[in-house]
Structure 1
Amino acid sequence: MRVKFWQKTLAALLVVGVLPIAFVNAVSIQGTRDRLTELGVTNIRERAVSTANAIDSYLQGPLGDVVLVSKLPAVIAYAQNVNDPDLRRAAREVLAAASARSVNYESIAIVSIDGTISAASITTDEGTNVRFRDYFLNARAGLSYISDPSYSVITNKPALFFSAPIATTSGLVVGVARMRANLSGIWDLVEADSGSVGVGSHGFLVDDYGIRLAVSETKGHRAQAESLIYKPIAAIDPEVAKKLAADKRFGQKTPDQLVLDPLPPLKDAIDRQADSATLAYNSGSAEQRAVAARMHTKPWTYTLAVPLATYTSSADDSTVSVALAAAVGILLAAIVSLLLTRSIVGPLRRLAGQAQLMSSGTVDIETAAFEDVKGDDVTHEVATAFDRLGNALRYYAATRGEAPAGDLR
C-alpha cells in the first residue's frame, strides 16, 4: 500500500514533536507515582507499627491487674478454702474493687482448681464451670495468660480473658484469677485508624490463625460488630478447628460456619512470622497497599491498608492530562500535516496535470503555460522550470531540432 505524503508528514510531526514529549511525561509521571507510593507505604508502616504497639501496651494493663489480684492475701486465702462464707465475702470485695479500675473490665473472678467460678465481682458468674477454657488450663499450669477474643459462656458476647495462677507461698497453685474484659479497648485503637493515613484507610487485627478480631469498620457500627469480625483470611486447619470448637471460641458457631474472606498475601506474612510486611492486593476494584505489623504480647498481626489511589491520585490526574494533551497534539499534527501537504501537493498536482495534457497533445503547446499556478516557493520554481521546458519544446518544434537560444535554456 502506497503511503501518502500527508501521512509521512504526520508521522514526522509525531516522531519529532508529540511522541518524545509524551514519553518524557509518562516516565516522569511514573517516577512521581512510585515516589508517592513509597512515601505512602512509609506512612502506613509507621502508623501500623504504632497501633500494634498500642494494642500490646493495652493488653499489658489488664494482664498486670489480674496478676495483682492473684497475689492479694484475701484472694489466696479464699482460693484455699472456697467453702468459707467470710473469706468469700472478703474476696468479692477485693474483686469488685479491682473490676472498678476500668469500664472495660466486665468481671473478675476466682476459679477453683476444678474449673468452677467460686467468687466473682458479679455474683451471677459464680457456679459456671470453665475448665475447658484455654485461659483456665494455662493459668492452672502456672502461666499468666491472655486469651484470644472468645464468646463468653455467660454473656454469649465476644470478650477477652486474662488469667493468672493463684499460688501459695510454697508455689502450689490453688486456683485461678480470671478477668473478663470487653473488646472496646482494642476496638477503639483499631477504629482510630479509620482514615488516619488517608481517605479510605482502614485497619484490622487478626490472630495467629488468620481470624479477624477487630476491624475499623465497626466505628459507629458497634451493633454490627459481631457480623464484621471472626472472618478468617484463609481456611482453618481441621485440627485447629477442633481445638477452637472445644474452647467454644465462637459461642454456638463452629469454625466451619465462619465466613471466609481470603487475603493470601497477609496469610503468607503470618506464616513467615515477619515483624512487618508490605502487602499489595485488590479489594473490589481498588488496589490496596498495606503494612502488616506483628505484635509481641500475643501472636497477632495488625494490618493497616490504604487504597493506592489515595496517594497516587495527583499522578493519576497528570496521566489523564498528558493523555489528553497527547490526543490534542495528534489532532493538531494531523490538521497541520493536511493543511501543509495540501498547500504543496495541490499546486504540484495541477502542474503535473497540465504537463500530462501538454504531453498528450490535448493542450496546444503554443498556448500552454505553468506560471499561473499559485503555490509556495517550491511550486513557483517547479512552474518556472515547466515553463522553460515548454519554451524549449516550442523552440525545438519551430526550428526542427536546432539548439535553443540561451535565454530558453
Structure 2
Amino acid sequence: MSDPSSVWMKPKPRSPTSFLIVPVATCPPRARYVRESFWGTVRGSENTGTRTFPVPAGGVSMTRPVGLSRRRTRNDLTSLGVTNIRQRSTSTANAIDAYLQSRLGDIVLVSKLPDVVRYAQNIDDPAARNAARAALTAAAARSPEYESVAVVDAKGKIVAASVATDEGTSVAFREYFLSALKGATYVSDPSYSVITNRPALFFSSPVAANGVVLAVVRTRVNLASVWDIVEGDAGSVGEGAHSFLVDDYGIRLAVSETRGHRDQAESLIYKPIAAIDADTAKKLAADKRFGQKTPEQLVIDPLPTLKTALDALPKGASADATFAFGAGSAEQRGVVTRLVTKPWGYVLAVPLTTYTKAADNATFDAVLMLVMGVLLSFVIGVVLTRSLVGPLRRLVGEATQVSTGDVDLREAHFDTRSGDDITHEVASAFDRMLNALRFYALADETGTGGEE
C-alpha cells in the first residue's frame, strides 16, 4: 500500500475545482491545522474520517492573503504613527503650557516688588513713579521677548512703564485689565497691541495691599517663543508633518508654515476652523483678535472633525483626541491636545501616506520581484529546453538512421562528447547499444558463413 502522505504531496487535480481527499489520521495535527486554516473552509464527514480540501488546478492564489496582509500592515503602521503623533503633540502642548506659566509667574513677582506696591499706593508721587519705572525696566530686561512691563491704574490708564511711550494709553477695555482688577491673574489670547500694532500676549496680575487691589501690572510679550515652539514641529514626526495652535474659538494663533516666513504670518494665522457667530466675532474684533481684519474679512479654513474633537475635550485639564481629515492621497491623521493654562488646542497632523508608503512600497516591490521571477523563469526554461531538446533530437535522428538501415553499422556512431551531462549519458547508452548491435550482427555473419 502506498504511503498516504504521497497523496497530499502529489495531487493530480483534473479541474480548477477538483478536490483532494486526505485521511485525517494520516495528517499530523499541525499540518491539518495549517491546511484547514489556510483554505478557511473544511468539507467532509467525521464519520468517514476524511476531510475535503479544495485544490486549484492552476496553483494556489495568494491574492487574498497578500491583500489582507497589506491592509493589516497599513493599519499597524497607521496606529504606530498616531501613537508617535500623540506623544509629540502632548510634549509640545506641555512645552507651551510651561512657557505660559513661566511668563505668568514673572508678572506675579513684579506685582509684589516693593517699589511697584509702593507706587500703587501713591500713584501721584513722582519719586515713587521713577522707582517703579526702574523696577519695571529691570523686569523687562529679563528676556528680549518682553516688549513692555507696565503699571495700570484703577481707571485703566498706563501710568508707569518700561517703555515711556506706553504711558498714558488707555487699556480699560482689555480683558487682562478687567480680570486683574477683580483680583485674578490673567493670560490673554494673542491680539494686536494698540501701541505696536503687532500681535502679542498679555499677562496681568493685581497689585494689592492689605487685601485691596490698588492697580494692575501687565507685561506685553511678543509671539516669537510660541511660534518657535510650534514651528519646531514641522516635519518632526515624518515627512509632511505640520502643526498649529488654535484658541477656544478655533482661531489659528500659530502655524508651523510661518517657519522662515514670519513676514507672511498675518496671512497664515487668524483662520478659524469653523464659522463664528456674528456677535462673538464682533466682540473678538473689538479686542483686536483678528489683527487689522474685520469679521467680514475672516477666511474660514474648515476642519469639522477637528472642531468636534476639540469641543469634546475638557477644559482646564490636559487631554487629547485623534481625528482624520482629507480624502484619498490627501488624507491626514492628527492629534489635538488641550492645554491647561489656556483652553487652546495644539494640533499635530501628518499625511497618512507618510506611514503607509512603506507597506505600499513593499507590495510594489513584491509584485515587481514576482514579475521578474516569472520572466527569469521563462528565459531559463527556454534556454534549458533548447540545450536539452537539440542534442536529444540529434540522437533521435541518428538512432532512426540506424534502425532503418540508412547507415552502415560498422561506420555508425553517436556523438558522446557534445552536450550536457544528461545528453552525454544518453548518447553513451545509445553508443553502447550500437556496439552491442554491431557485435551481434558480426556474430550472425560469422555463424552464417560457417554453416555454408
TM-score range (shorter-chain normalised) is: 0.7 to 0.9
Q: Deviations over 1:227-278 (max 9, x none)?
A: 1111100001223213212322224322332211111111001211252111
Within 5 A, what are the aligned runs for 1:202-241? Answer: 202-241=242-281
Q: Deviations over 1:271-303 (max 9, x none)?
A: 112521111111895111111111101000001
- Residue 155 (1) aligns with residue 199 (2): no
* Alpha-carbon distance in structure 2 between the residues aligned to 1:143 and 1:262: 34
- Residue 65 (1) aligns with residue 109 (2): no
**Quick one: structure 1 residues 91 and 16, their matched pair in 2 at CA, closer, same or farther if it must change by over 3 Å?**
farther
Give the Å deviation of 1:84.
1.7
**Quick one: structure 1 residues 22 and 42, their matched pair in 2 at CA, closer, same or farther if it must change by over 3 Å?**
same
Q: Deviations over 1:107-131 (max 9, x none)?
A: 1000111111111000111111011
8 Å contact kept, 1:18–1:330: no
* Alpha-carbon distance in structure 2 between the residues aligned to 1:331 and 1:111: 83
Give the Å deviation of 1:319.
3.3
- Residue number among 334, 341, 349 corresponding to 1:305 in the alignment: 349
* Alpha-carbon distance in structure 1 between the residues aligned to 2:17 and 2:268: 58
Match of 1:119 in 2: 160
**Quick one: structure 1 residues 180 and 331, their matched pair in 2 at CA, closer, same or farther if it must change by over 3 Å?**
same
Question: Which stretch has the larger CA shift, 255-264 or 120-129?
Answer: 255-264
Match of 1:104 in 2: 145
Match of 2:125 in 1: 84
Name the SS for the 1:20 alignment partner. Answer: coil
8 Å contact kept, 2:15–2:57: no
Match of 1:379 in 2: none
Match of 1:188 in 2: 228
Give the Å deviation of 1:305.
0.5
Aligned length: 326
8 Å contact kept, 1:113–1:176: yes
Q: Deviations over 1:160-198 (max 9, x none)?
A: 0000011112x1111110100000111111111011111
Fraction of identical pairs, as percent: 62
8 Å contact kept, 1:18–1:329: no
8 Å contact kept, 1:132–1:246: no
Name the SS for the 1:106 alignment partner. Answer: strand
* Alpha-carbon distance in structure 2 between the residues aligned to 1:261 and 1:17: 54
Match of 2:429 in 1: none
* Alpha-carbon distance in structure 2 between the residues aligned to 1:263 and 1:16: 53
* Alpha-carbon distance in structure 2 between the residues aligned to 1:165 and 1:253: 31
Match of 2:297 in 1: 257
The alignment's C-alpha RMSD in Å is 2.7
* Alpha-carbon distance in structure 2 between the residues aligned to 1:168 and 1:16: 95
8 Å contact kept, 1:142–1:164: yes
8 Å contact kept, 1:70–1:165: yes
Match of 2:238 in 1: 198
**Quick one: structure 1 residues 21 and 68, their matched pair in 2 at CA, closer, same or farther if it must change by over 3 Å?**
same
- Residue number among 340, 344, 351 corresponding to 1:296 in the alignment: 340
Name the SS for the 2:282 alignment partner. Answer: helix
* Alpha-carbon distance in structure 2 between the residues aligned to 1:162 and 1:15: 75
* Alpha-carbon distance in structure 2 between the residues aligned to 1:296 and 1:166: 25
What letter is aligned with 1:39? L
Give the Å deviation of 1:88.
1.0
What letter is aligned with 2:131? A
- Residue number among 206, 224, 238 corresponding to 1:165 in the alignment: 206
8 Å contact kept, 1:153–1:251: no
Match of 2:308 in 1: 268
What letter is aligned with 1:191? E
Match of 1:75 in 2: 116
TM-score normalized by structure 1?
0.74
Structure 1 segments unaligned to the other structure (5+ residues): 1-7, 333-409
* Alpha-carbon distance in structure 1 between the residues aligned to 2:178 and 2:245: 25
Give the Å deviation of 1:17.
5.0
Match of 1:244 in 2: 284
What letter is aligned with 1:203? S
* Alpha-carbon distance in structure 2 between the residues aligned to 1:250 and 1:90: 36
Name the SS for the 1:164 alignment partner. Answer: strand
Could you say which structure has the greater relative contact order, defined with CA pairs below 8 angstroms and 6 or more residues apart? 1
* Alpha-carbon distance in structure 2 between the residues aligned to 1:44 and 1:190: 14
- Residue number among 355, 361, 370 corresponding to 1:317 in the alignment: 361
What letter is aligned with 2:275? A
- Residue number among 198, 217, 223 corresponding to 1:177 in the alignment: 217
**Quick one: structure 1 residues 18 and 278, their matched pair in 2 at CA, closer, same or farther if it must change by over 3 Å?**
farther
What letter is aligned with 1:160? L
Q: Deviations over 1:54-84 (max 9, x none)?
A: 0000001110010111111111121232222
* Alpha-carbon distance in structure 1 between the residues aligned to 2:212 and 2:264: 44
- Residue 286 (1) aligns with residue 286 (2): no
Name the SS for the 1:132 alignment partner. Answer: coil
